[in-house]
Amino acid sequence: MTEEMPSLRCIIATLFFALLLPPGSFPATTLSPSFYDETCPTVFSIIRGIIEQALLSDPRIGASLLRLHFHDCFVNGCDASILLDNSATIESEKEAAPNNNSTRGFEVVDAMKIALEFECPGIVSCADILAIAAQEAVNLAGGPSWLVLLGRRDSTAANRTLANLAIPAPFETLDVLKSKFAAVGLNTSTDLVALSGAHTFGRAQCTIVIERLYNFNGTGKADPTLNATYLETLRKVCPQGGNGSVLLNLDPTTPNTFDSNYYTNLQAQEGLLQSDQELFSTSGADTIEIVERFSSNQIAFFESFVVSMLKMGNISPVTGTEGEIRLSCRRVNMDYTSSNKWSSS
């Protein structure tokens, strides 16, 4: 089988599964995979090329870009609000607890925007850049490709308060995770398990898991769902009182590859994050069967991941005449224009 076949199968699956979805599963928007065919036909190659270049020095950048899209979509929809810096009118989501000193890749998104403004000025939104970058990052790591629906516009506001409340956290129980997925219109079984599979690549800091290793839920002991051998390995890397910024692989087997090993790890009680292990170790959960299925059938995982990514990417998009196409992903156009006028004067 050629390398192109898995991507082709998932593109076909995108269309097939979309036809199977009941009415209302996708919001009625103007999003389309051909949105930039005439106005910016090189958008995909430009974004892919910048990711390829960034991967040469930063193997975790793909996972970081995918995470930006996730965290953006869970807060008032996929509108690039996560990219806005603090200003006189903006309280940035970057400083919300789930994002502060955690989300990254903003400079790579800046590079994409600069290149696209040179090639197609005023055309490609920052929200669509995140959606395309997520797809390209997954594919470059060995995962599926899909027809990204495009035509989002950018928000002119951010919501740090909602970011603190809505984004799923690594220390949450299955019930809490389900409630957060349901709140944005994603289902609490397949969407939850498939999208959690994004943790098949990337890294997490020791500070995220330290309580789980030494004082789980205030017990003074480790999380009992952790494999004992894996626990000792983690404790060597993350000792009590150690450097909390040390990085751990989310997938200890294939840390830079997008594959189904994430689910095999959960079966072995080697999920790095509590929120991951909850999918398999919560007694009687409907997610257990899905973890088992994805572990044994990578194609099933890829196909479900594609459909769930399409659903997530369609959470409350800004379209039509709403919002704007930002000139800089970090600032709304009013602030950007004012800053440039001041600089010129």
Q: Any alpha helices (H) in the chain, and if so which ranges? A: 4-20, 43-55, 61-73, 106-119, 126-140, 160-166, 174-183, 190-196, 206-214, 228-237, 261-267, 274-281, 287-296, 298-313, 333-344
To the question of whether residue 107 is assigned a binding role by annotation, the answer is no
Six-digit token string for 252: 């200890």
To the question of whether residue 199 is assigned a binding role by annotation, the answer is yes
To the question of whether residue 200 is assigned a binding role by annotation, the answer is yes
To the question of whether residue 79 is assigned a binding role by annotation, the answer is yes
To the question of whether residue 175 is assigned a binding role by annotation, the answer is no
To the question of whether residue 224 is assigned a binding role by annotation, the answer is no
To the question of whether residue 91 is assigned a binding role by annotation, the answer is no
To the question of whether residue 296 is assigned a binding role by annotation, the answer is no
To the question of whether residue 58 is assigned a binding role by annotation, the answer is no
Exactly one of 9, 67, 69, 71 is catalytic; name it. 71
C-alpha–C-alpha distance, residues 209 and 190, integer Å? 25
To the question of whether residue 109 is assigned a binding role by annotation, the answer is no
69 labelled catalytic: no
C-alpha–C-alpha distance, residues 129 and 274, integer Å? 30
Half-sphere exposure of 13 (CA within 13 A, CB side): 21
C-alpha–C-alpha distance, residues 195 and 193, integer Å? 6
To the question of whether residue 244 is assigned a binding role by annotation, the answer is no
Select from 263, 302, 331 the least CA-distant residue to 87: 331
To the question of whether residue 93 is assigned a binding role by annotation, the answer is yes
Select from 180, 168, 159 the least CA-distant residue to 273: 168
* One-letter amino acid for residue 197 of the chain: G
Active-site annotation, residues: 71
**Binding site for substrate: which residues?**
168
**Binding site: which residues?**
72, 75, 77, 79, 81, 93, 168, 199-200, 251, 254, 259
**Binding site for Ca(2+): which residues?**
72, 75, 77, 79, 81, 93, 200, 251, 254, 259
